[in-house]
Amino acid sequence: MIKAGASEIVITPETSQFLFGYPHVERYSNGVHDDLYSAALFLDDGSTQIMFISNDLIFVDKKMSTEIRREISQITGIPAKNIMITATHTHSGPIMTNYASSLNDPIVPKADAVYLDFAKEKMISAAVSAWQNAAEAVLGMTKADSTGIGTNRRDPAGPSDHEVPVLAVMDKERSKYLACMMVGTMHPTVLHEDSRLISGDFPGLAKQYLKKQVMGDECVMLYHSGPCGNQSPRHVVKATTFAEAERLGVILGKAVEKAAESVIFPDNPVLAADNLFVPDLERKTFPATDQAKKKLNKLLVKMEQMVEAHAPHPEVRTLECDIFGAEETVTLSELSENGELDNYYELSLPAEIQLLVIGPWKFIGWSGEIFVEYGLAVKKQFENTFVITMANGEFQGYIVTPEAAEEGGYEASNSLFTPEAGNMLVRETEKLLKAYLNQ
């Protein structure tokens, strides 16, 4: 028998906040398009209790996640390692952590400690409420196809993952939805620096669609972000507007709606949880500051040439991001030379790999922004296994592939770790899954 409880709470800032995700833009919120939520799902099979907490935020860093998990555990008795805290990665929400690569950006402020405390208390409240209202329930499982919401960021024909696992939680009579949880592998960056309204971007609008059209307003919606480091809507959007964010949200919502028609309800699904820590990931060696500045200058010249040639917008946007990355590399090179970068490594490590099991489905939690290839490597080996990123922290940047590191674009430029870090995550995840499967 499964017991389930779900709860969601608004975490929309009550004051104007700096919206984090686009460098060099003084982007303070001046209104709300759609509310941000913290949503919690608690499951109990009689011997194991697990909890997922999804937040419409760009990150929830390691320190904050650790504190929240510890406090929830103290109140509920759920082991901290059985609690996963994630962020949808919306770029239209408050700054949540102090990024090393933004240190020299005069526009980007420090994270607002008052809002961080507000969000922390709301997440704990949502979790405790979900735990308190647990009742007998049934779990339904299905998979949706998110094709249409985006592609590989650099190569539209490149690697991507449009499989969206959908967990539907219903009351024991199957008369109503209590919660719906999904994992989507796409950057929520339809909205850009010209928007100053708080928003969950397309994942938030997909959740709205499903509430209104499919599952009811009382259904608690959780969205987790898969390995979307190199996944973007930029090649499919017609504009960076709320209408486009809603269009993509409806595409995802309808995909889930269609998949819900073929939901499977496994008998007596068993829950399990485990984790391990990787003490260190291979750290990147940064170029000398003068060399980093030379690369930046070359990209600035290239941008002038592209603008004069009226190059297509996606190409200009990609180069613009590469310039941001080159500027951030200059900052990271300076921090590396003066020894300050070690402080930021300490904020990210050790790297936790978390496993939460629901019947035949296995959810892996990784911190940070990870390229999709690493998630696909895990899925290739283990059936019904789904990687959730931005889980229980962040890595102060991306984990990229060797090819991306060689290319030296935006994502590689601001990464603190080498591509071998991604391989380490895959190898350690294999160990964790094999240990569970061989029990």
Whether 291 is in a domain gets the answer no
Token code pair at residue 41: 């799902």
Whether 251 is in a domain gets the answer yes
What are the residues facing 83 on neighbouring strands? 51
Per the structure, the count of domains in the chain is 1
CA end-to-end span of the chain, whole Å? 22
Whether 137 is in a domain gets the answer yes
Whether 113 is in a domain gets the answer yes
Residue-level pLDDT, tens digit, the chain, 439 residues: 899 999 999 999 999 999 999 877 889 999 999 999 999 999 999 999 999 999 999 999 999 999 999 999 999 999 999 999 999 999 999 999 998 888 888 889 999 999 999 999 999 999 999 999 999 999 999 999 999 999 999 899 999 999 999 999 999 999 999 999 999 999 999 999 899 999 999 999 999 999 999 999 999 999 999 999 999 999 999 999 999 999 999 999 999 999 999 999 999 999 999 999 999 999 999 888 888 788 878 888 888 888 888 888 888 888 888 888 788 888 889 888 989 999 999 999 999 999 999 999 999 999 999 999 999 999 999 999 999 999 999 999 999 999 999 988 788 888 999 999 999 999 999 999 999 999 8
Q: In sequence order, what are the residues at sequence separation of 6 or more whose Cβ sits closer than 8 angstroms to the Cβ of residue 140?
A: 167, 168, 169, 170, 260, 263, 264, 265
Whether 292 is in a domain gets the answer no
Whether 107 is in a domain gets the answer yes
Is the CA virtual torsion 76, 169, 372, 116 positive or negative? negative
User: Helix, strand or coil for residue 91?
Assistant: coil
Whether 365 is in a domain gets the answer yes
Taking a C-beta distance cutoff of 8 angstroms, is the pair 387, 433 a contact? no
Q: Tell which residue, 129, 130, 134, 58, has the closest CA to residue 97.
A: 58
Whether 378 is in a domain gets the answer yes
Task: Kindly state the DSSP code that residue 214 receives in the 8-state scheme.
Answer: I
Helices (H), 260-340: 289-308, 313-338
State how far the Cα of 215 lies from the Cα of 192, in Å rounded to an integer. 30
Range of the domain at 216: 2-270+350-395
